[in-house]
Amino acid sequence: MRFTALAWLVAGALSVNASAAEPADMNNDPYLWLEDVEGEKALDWVRARNAVSEKQLAGDPGFEQVRQDLLDILDSDARIPYVSKRGEYYYNFWRDKLNPQGIWRRTTLAEYRKEDPKWEVLLDIDALGKAEGVNWVWGGSDCLRPDYDRCLVNLSRGGADATVTREFDVSEKAFVEGGFSRPEAKGSVGWIDADTVYVSTDFGDGSMTDSGYPRVVKEWKRGTLMSEASVVYEGEKTDIAVGAYHDDTPGWERDFVYRGLTFYTNELYLRKDGGELAKLDLPDGSQKGVFREWLTVELRQPWEIAGTTHPAGSLLAINFDEFMKGSRDFEVVFAPTQNSSLASSGATKDYYFINVLEDVKNRIYVLTPGKDGWKREPLVGAPEFGTVSIGAVDPDESNEYFMTVADYLTPTSLLMGEIGKQPEVLKQLPAYFDAEPYRIEQHFAASKDGTKVPYFMVSRKDITLDGDNPTLLYGYGGFEVSLTPNYSAGVGKNWLSQGGVYVVANIRGGGEYGPRWHQAALRENRNKAYEDFAAVARDLIDRKVTKPARLGIQGGSNGGLLTGNMMVMYPELFGAVVSQVPLLDMYRYDKLLAGASWVAEYGDPDVPSDWAFLRKYSPYQNVKKGVDYPPVLFTTSTRDDRVHPGHARKMTARMLEQGHDVTYYENIEGGHGGAANNAQSAYMGALAYTFLKQQLFGDK
């Protein structure tokens, strides 16, 4: 079993050339009342804005067709049912028209290979929600080996990050009466053995960090109250989170405790049989992984060890037991180059594999540990272009793997293979739109400081470069997240097929070139991400792909902050802005929900020297009356307990007060993804496409 100490938390994550006048009175925000998430006054305001937006967008003659197209795609039985192997069964969670909240089910490999497999339904979330009167949203499961008959199932109300955990009996297809049960909170429960679990959750006053995650992890015995569980480890309130895991790999069973110091730093401890903890002597800024006999270390900063300095972005490996005895004889598994970075890594029973991004194109390599080092060779059957991901089918039992392959125009395929042999295609998405008229190009734009910024452009092969093509530019630029070419039926059917050009910018702040690309736009250097995005926009205009009146931008979460800043700082470049579940008030972001966990990314507004640069990219403070901003659509969710809906609410209220063209829609449920089921996702997507078409198509 390989894990990264803070992977679950990240799964649970986001130019300063504008003249930023000092906000009048930061502590006298006239729209602070909109931060009251479920307050009646705030919700009345939300409903009133939603009504205006629905009339404008849902009332558009083309809206219903877009919504139905998106829903048909989301509900289609032709989608790939991705599976995970547990024992002899392959498990899947599935949503469709008949099961909008979804069903948890399983099948055999022989059945899965068929075009129309027979599934055994284990849990119907729609039926559960109806019976209990709660809009439950699936949050995943953890099943106990070797029989995998008992599982810890996570559910959330309306798609929030906070979940409940209940023990489930797979054979009986029912929750276990008197079994392990954790009340609603941010946290987790994980198996140690059939009668023991690790639990990290809200245990009461003082048990949560400033970021809203658990700071205490306990060992909980069956038949006892959760409050009686014994403390394994306590972190500090200023930490991000703490937790513990049992590595159940046969023959390599171990227990670990992790402590998240910041979003990018952590400590990992081996928990010994007596309960004492041994800290692994590794850089706090590294990601630590353990699989079988190996310890891996992925560096975010350079590290000098045994007389050798390894650059940030390197992946090192060493025998775990030898390391704990004092050895520091690391093997270099991957070393970054100017145009390559490590996207991911993993292991099968006898091999290790790495997924490398070379100029934002995936390359898969297989490594074989040996006495003379780790032999490296390309994975047999891996494609030359597109987004490729790979994961072991059962790393404890075989060298088989699943591989997904896609690009902007090629429907996603799921392949299964065994290392050293050609993989076979198991499943493939149908073509939801005719891709033949289109092509994918990669270009590089020169940013303000001369850095070459890659971007992908999807357009018709016979595009006329007259500067008049409606173009949608998408970006993120944060938290070391890479944007790689993926098939989007929604983009193809509702944008490309309508005559639009689609562009994805690989700006700094992302992970396309590893830690250096991310760290180049951290904190006081955030302007680099915005300068990069502006450079891509200007390059599209200079190449006469489009013009400002035809150029729209879109992004969510940290990408919502990106688009909010681009609107405020570069209003002359764009004709429409879509900002989804965004951060916008950077003066208060760390006081709202999970915001404190992102201080390492953005800075601390309570520190004057940090606020000096943060204020330059805080759209809520910098938007001004009398500036000709492009029309903007803000969307968010009441149930988003990661990025507070107050960001979008307050920004909308301020812009309306100043007389700007702003549209707002808030889904009353949906979590950070903005939607709790396919119908909501289709509706939210249709709002965005309709808004963009209204602003960018037609006479300009």
pLDDT per residue as tens digits for the range 507-561: 999 999 999 999 999 999 999 999 999 999 999 999 999 999 999 999 999 999 9
Distance CA 443, CA 457 (A): 8
Specify the pTM. 0.86
pLDDT per residue as tens digits for the range 386-434: 899 999 999 999 999 999 999 999 999 999 999 999 999 999 999 999 9
**Contact present, 428 and 410 (Cβ < 8 Å):** no
Distance CA 548, CA 411 (A): 31
Q: In which band, very low, low, confident or very high, does the pLDDT at 8 lie, cut at 50, 70 and 90?
A: very low
The pLDDT value given to residue 673: 66
* 563-585: average pLDDT: 98
Q: In which band, very low, low, confident or very high, does the pLDDT at 700 lie, cut at 50, 70 and 90?
A: low
Residue 21 has pLDDT above 80, yes or no: no
Report the range of poorest mean pLDDT among 5-14, 227-236, 560-569, 669-678.
5-14
The pLDDT value given to residue 27: 65
**Contact present, 653 and 77 (Cβ < 8 Å):** no
Of 557, 579, 637, 681, the catalytic one is 557
pLDDT per residue as tens digits for the range 35-88: 999 999 999 999 999 999 999 999 999 999 999 999 999 888 889 999 999 999
Distance CA 79, CA 99 (A): 14
Could you list the beta-strand ranges (E) of 272-359. 277-279, 287-291, 294-298, 303-305, 308-310, 315-319, 331-334, 340-347, 352-358
Of 246, 310, 660, 672, the catalytic one is 672
More confidently predicted of 102 and 1: 102
Q: Which amino acid is at 392?
A: A
The pLDDT value given to residue 13: 36
More confidently predicted of 224 and 20: 224
Domain boundaries, the chain: 340-428, 432-696
Q: Which amino acid is at 571?
A: P
Q: In which band, very low, low, confident or very high, does the pLDDT at 5 lie, cut at 50, 70 and 90?
A: very low
More confidently predicted of 385 and 258: 258
Q: In which band, very low, low, confident or very high, does the pLDDT at 654 lie, cut at 50, 70 and 90?
A: very high
* 93-101: average pLDDT: 94
Distance CA 62, CA 67 (A): 9
Residue 279: phi and psi, rounded to 5, are -70, 135
The pLDDT value given to residue 668: 84
Distance CA 511, CA 520 (A): 10
The pLDDT value given to residue 675: 61
Residue 19 has pLDDT above 50, yes or no: no
* 138-153: average pLDDT: 97
Q: In which band, very low, low, confident or very high, does the pLDDT at 671 lie, cut at 50, 70 and 90?
A: low
Q: 341-376: buried (b, 16+ CB within 10 Å) or exposed (e) per residue?
A: bbbbbbbbeebbbbbbbeebbbbbbbbebeeeebee
Report the range of poorest mean pLDDT among 377-386, 432-441, 623-632.
377-386
The pLDDT value given to residue 502: 98
Helix or strand holding residue 533 (H, E): helix 527-542
The pLDDT value given to residue 638: 92
Q: In which band, very low, low, confident or very high, does the pLDDT at 674 lie, cut at 50, 70 and 90?
A: low
443 is catalytic: no
**Strands 501-505, 471-474: pairing kind:** parallel
Distance CA 513, CA 360 (A): 8
Task: Write the CB contacts of 309 (distance below 8 Å, at least 6 apart in sequence).
Answer: 302, 303
What percentage of residues in the chain have a pLDDT greater than 90? 89
Determine the angle formed by the axes of helices 527-542 and 558-569, rounding to 10 degrees.
60
Mean pLDDT of the chain: 93
| 3-state class (DSSP) for residue 618 | coil
Q: How far is CA 696 from the centre of its chain?
A: 28
C-alpha dihedral, 246 to 248 to 252 to 258, nearest 10° = -20
Residue 490 has pLDDT above 70, yes or no: yes
* 430-447: average pLDDT: 97
Q: According to the CATH classification, is domain 432-696 in 3.40.50.1820? A: yes
Report the range of poorest mean pLDDT among 277-286, 372-381, 416-425, 490-499.
372-381
557 is catalytic: yes
